[in-house]
Structure 1
Amino acid sequence: MARSSADDEQLRRACELAIEDETVVMSIRVVKSGGIWGKPGKLGLRHMAKPRVLAISTKVKGKRTKAFLRVLKYSNGGYLEAAKMYKLKHLSKVEVSTDDPSGCTFMLGFDNLRNQSVAPTQWTMRNVDDRNRLVLCILNISKDCMVNIPKVVGIDVVEMALWAKQNTQAIPKQQGDLPEGMLPAGFTEDLNLTVERDLVSQAEEADMEALLGTYVMGIGEAEAFSERLKRELQALEAANVHAILENEPLIREVLQGLEVATTCVEDMDEWLGIFNVKLRHMREDIESIETGNNKLEMQSVNNKSLIEELDKLIEKLHIPAEYASCLSGGSFDEANMHENLEACEWLAIALRALEVPNLDRCYAKLRSVREKRAELQMLETTFVQRASEFLRNYFVSVVDFMMSDKNYFSQRGQLKRPDHADLRYKCRTYARLLQHLKSLDKNCLDPLRKAYCSSLNLLLRREAREFANELRASTKISKAPTQWLDFTGSNQSANSADTSNVSEAYSKMLTVFIPLLVDESSFFALFMCFEVPALQPGGLADGHQSAAADGNRTTDLQALNESLHDLLDGIQEDFYSVVDWAHKIDPLRCISMHGITERYISGQKADAAGYVRILLDDLENRISVLFGRFVDEACHQIERNDRNVRQVGVLAYIPRFATLATRMEQYIQGQSRDLVDQAYTKIVTIMFVTLDKISQADLKYADVLLLENYAAFQNSLYDLANVVPTLAKFYHQASESYDQSCTRYINTIIYYQFERLFQFARRIEDLLSVMTPEEVPFQIGVSKADLRKVAKSSLSGVDKSITAMYKKLQKNMTSEELLPSLWEKCKGEFLDKYASFVQLVVKVYPTENIPAVEEMGQLLASM
Structure 2
Amino acid sequence: MAKSSADDEELKRACAAAIEGTKQKIVMSVRVAKSRGIWAKSGRLGRGQIAKFRVIAISTKQKGQRTKAFLRVLKYSSGGVLEPAKFYKLKHLSKVEVLSNDPSGCTFMLGFDNLRSQSVAPAQWTMRNIDDRNRLLICILNISKEILGRLPKVVGIDIVEMALWAKENTATVTTTQTATQDGPAASVVIEDDLKVTVEKDLVSQAEEEDMEALLGTYVMGVTEVEAFSERLKRELLALEAANVHSILETESLIDEVMQGLESATVCVDDMDEWLGIFNAKLRHMREDIESIEIRNNKLEMQSLNNKTLVEELDKLLKQLSVPSEYTACLTGGSFEEANMLQNVEACEWLASALRSLQAPTSDPAYANMRAVKEKRGELEILKATFVRRASEFLRNYFASLVDFMITDKSYFSQRGQLKRPDHADLRYKCRTYARLLQHLKLIQNLDKNCLGQLRKAYCHSLNLLLRREAREFANELRASTKASRNPQVWLEASATSNQTVNNADTSMVSDAYAKMLTIFIPLLVDESSFFAHFMCFDVPALVPPGGPSNGNKNGSNDDGANEDDLGIMDIDENESKTSNESADLVALNEALQDLLNGIQEDFYAVVDWAYKIDPLRCISMHGITERYLSGQKADAAGFVRLLLDDLESKISVQFNRFVDEACHQIERNERNVRQMGVLPYIPRFATLATRMEQYIQGQSRELVDQAYMKFVSIMFATLEKISQAEPKYADIVLLENYAAFQNSLYDLANVVPTLAKFYHQASEAYEQACTRHINMIIYYQFERLFQFARKIEDLMYTITPEEIPFQLGLSKMDLRKMLKSSLSGVDKSISAMYRRLQKNLTSEELLPSLWDKCKKEFLDKYESFAQLVAKIYPNETIPSVAEMRDLLASM
Query: Would the TM-score normalized by the shorter structure come out above 0.5?
Result: yes
Q: C-alpha offsets along residues 57-114 of structure 1, whole Å, 9 cap, x if unaligned?
A: xxxxxxxxxxxx9xxxxxxxxxxxxxxxxxxxxxxxxxxxx99558498476699979
Q: Distance in 1 between matches of 2:629 and 2:753?
A: 26
Correspondence 1:302 to 2:309: no
CA drift at 1:682: 0.6
- Within 2, Cα distance between the matches of 1:365 and 1:196? 89
Q: In structure 2, the residue corresponding to 1:33 is in which secondary structure?
A: strand
Report the equivalent of 1:5.
none
Name the CA shift for 1:49/1:504 in 2 (closer, same or farther; >3 Å): closer
Q: Distance in 2 between matches of 1:462 and 1:222?
A: 127
Counterpart CA distance in 2 for 1:230 and 1:302 is 82
Cα drift, residue 435 of structure 1: 1.4
3-state SS of 2:449 partner: helix
Q: 1:46: how far off?
A: 6.0
Residue type at the aligned position of 1:527: F
Deviation at 1:776, TM superposition (A): 3.4
406, 416, 421: which one aligns with 2:419: 416
Deviation digits for residues 153-177 of structure 1 (CA, Å, limit 9, x no counterpart) = 68888xxxxxxxxxxxxxxxxxxxx
Q: Between 473-482 and 125-134, report the one with greater CA deviation.
A: 125-134
Map of 2:697 onto structure 1: 669
Closer, same or farther in 2 for the Cα pair 1:604/1:225, shift >3 Å? Answer: closer
2:381 and 2:144 map into 1 onto residues whose CA distance is 84
SS in 2 for 1:451: helix
Aligned match of 1:475 = 481
The Cα of 1:816 is off from its aligned counterpart by 0.9
User: Structure 1: which 5+ runs fail to align?
Assistant: 1-29, 53-68, 70-97, 119-123, 144-148, 158-194, 213-217
- What are the equivalent positions in structure 2 for 1:784-803 lying under 5 Å apart? 784-803=812-831
Q: Do residues 500 (structure 1) and 476 (structure 2) align?
A: no
What corresponds to 1:449 in structure 2? 455
The SS at the match of 1:578 is helix
Residue 310 to residue 835, structure 1, CA distance change in 2 (3 Å): same
Equivalent residue, structure 2, for 1:337: 340
Alpha-carbon shift at residue 301 of structure 1 (Å) = 2.9
Amino acid at match of 1:370: K
Q: TM-score, normalized by length of structure 1?
A: 0.74
1:36–1:125: 8 Å Cα contact kept in structure 2? Answer: no
Change (3 A) 1:375 1:227: closer
Q: In the superposition, relative to structure 1, how do residues 125 and 426 fare at CA in structure 2: closer, same or farther (>3 Å)?
A: farther
> Do 2:29 and 2:57's aligned partners in 1 also have CA atoms closer than 8 Å?
no
2:407 equivalent among 404, 409, 417: 404
Question: Which of 511, 525, 529 in structure 2 is aligned with 1:522?
Answer: 529
- Cα deviation for residue 848 of structure 1 reads 3.1
1:353 maps to what in 2? 356
Deviates more, 1:310-319 or 1:444-453: 310-319
Matches within 5 A, 1:282-293: 289-293=292-296
Question: 1:33–1:45: 8 Å Cα contact kept in structure 2?
Answer: no
8 Å Cα contact 2:486-2:614 kept in structure 1: no
Q: Which one of the candidate residues 51, 55, 61 is aligned to 1:44? A: 55
Equivalent of 1:33 in 24, 27, 32: 27
Q: Which amino acid aligns with 1:722?
A: N
Measure how far apart 1:350 and its partner are. Answer: 1.4
Which residue type is aligned with residue 629 of structure 2? I
Post-superposition CA distance 1:339-381 (Å, at most 9, x none): 2222222212211221232222222112211111111111111
Aligned-residue offset at 1:382: 0.9
In 2, the alpha carbon distance for the partners of 1:313 and 1:614 equals: 54
1:525-570 deviation per Cα after TM superposition (whole angstroms, max 9, x unaligned): 11111122345999x9xxxx99x955x2221111111111111111
User: In the alignment, which of 719, 742, 745 is matched to residue 773 of structure 2?
Assistant: 745
| C-alpha deviation, 1:841, in angstroms | 2.9
In structure 2, distance between residues paired with 1:370 and 1:591: 70
CA distance in 2, matches of 1:586, 1:225: 131
Cα deviation for residue 815 of structure 1 reads: 0.9
Give the secondary structure class of the aligned counterpart of 2:494.
coil
CA 1:232–1:773: 2 relative to 1, 3 Å? closer
Deviation at 1:136, TM superposition (A): 13
Residues 636 and 313 (structure 1), Cα distance of their counterparts in 2 relative to 1, 3 Å cut = same
Taking only aligned residues, the RMSD between alpha carbons, in angstroms, comes to: 4.6
Which stretch of structure 1 is more off in the superposition, 354-363 or 470-479? Answer: 470-479
Candidates 118, 128, 139, aligned match of 2:173: 128
- CA displacement 1:748-790 (0-9 Å, x = unmatched): 2222222232233333333333333344344443333333322
Query: Residue in 2 aligned with 1:636?
Result: 664
* Contact 2:485 2:614 survives alignment (8 Å): no
C-alpha displacement of 1:405: 2.4
The count of aligned residue pairs is 723
- Measure how far apart 1:626 and its partner are: 0.8
**Residue of structure 1 equivalent to 2:328:** 325
Question: In the TM superposition, what is the alpha-carbon distance from 1:856 to its structure 2 partner?
Answer: 1.8
Distance 1:373 1:231, change over 3 A: closer
Deviations 1:284-339 (A, max 9, x none): 66555555444444433332232222222222222222222221122222222222
On the 8 A contact 1:482/1:496 being kept in 2, the answer is no
Q: Could you say which residue in structure 1 is the equivalent of 2:589?
A: 561
Deviations 1:425-479 (A, max 9, x none): 2212212211111122232211111111111111111221222222222223378
Q: How does 1:537-556 map to 2 (within 5 A)?
A: 549-550=578-579, 552-556=580-584
Query: In 2, distance between residues paired with 1:229 and 1:762?
Result: 134
Superposed, which structure 2 residues align to 1:43-442 within 5 Å? Answer: 44-45=55-56, 103=135, 106=139, 128-129=173-174, 152=199, 236-237=246-247, 239-241=249-251, 244=253, 258=263, 289-441=292-444, 442=448
CA distance in 1, matches of 2:200, 2:296: 78
- Equivalent residue for 2:103? none
Amino acid in the other structure paired with 2:523: L
- Percent identity over the alignment? 65
Q: Which residue of the other structure, out of 463, 466, 470, is the alignment partner of 2:472?
A: 466
Equivalent in 603, 606, 617 of residue 645 of structure 2? 617
- For residues 691-840 of structure 1, what are the structure 2 equivalents within 5 Å? 691-840=719-868
CA distance, structure 1, for counterparts of residue 283 and residue 467 of structure 2: 99
Residue pair 1:457, 1:569 contacting (<8 A) in 2 also: yes
Any conservation in 1 of the 2:26–2:58 contact (CA below 8 Å)? Answer: no
Which residue identity lines up with residue 679 of structure 2 in the other structure?
Answer: L
Structure 2 residue runs of 5 or longer lacking an equivalent are: 1-23, 32-52, 68-107, 109-126, 153-168, 180-186, 222-226, 546-569
Find the aligned partners of 1:234 and 1:658 in 2 and give their Cα distance: 133
Partner of residue 884 from structure 2, selected from 842, 856, 862: 856
Please report how far the alpha carbon of residue 653 of structure 1 lies from its aligned counterpart in structure 2 after TM superposition: 0.8
Which secondary structure does the structure 2 equivalent of 1:641 belong to? helix
Match for 2:870 among 836, 842, 846? 842
| TM-score w.r.t. length of structure 2 | 0.71
* Distance (whole Å) between structure 1 residues aligned to residue 784 and residue 385 of structure 2: 113
Q: Do the aligned partners of 1:31 and 1:125 also contact (CA within 8 Å) in 2?
A: no
Question: Residues 436 and 754 of structure 1: is their aligned pair in 2 closer, same or farther, counting only changes over 3 Å?
Answer: same
Residue type of the alignment partner of 1:528: M
1:238-266 Cα deviation digits (max 9, x unpaired): 5434x559x98x999x79x959x95x998
2:30/2:56 contact within 8 Å kept: no
Q: Distance in 2 between matches of 1:508 and 1:536?
A: 21
Q: What is the alpha-carbon distance in structure 2 between the residues aligned to residue 136 and residue 463 of structure 1?
A: 96
Structure 2 Cα separation of the partners of residues 331 and 853 of structure 1: 115
Q: Tell me whether 722-731 or 464-473 shows the greater mean CA deviation.
A: 464-473
Structure 1 residues 109 and 430: alpha-carbon distance in aligned structure 2, compared to 1, 3 A threshold? farther
- After superposition, what is the alpha-carbon deviation per residue over 1:167-202, rounded to whole angstroms, capped at 9, x for unaligned? xxxxxxxxxxxxxxxxxxxxxxxxxxxx799959xx
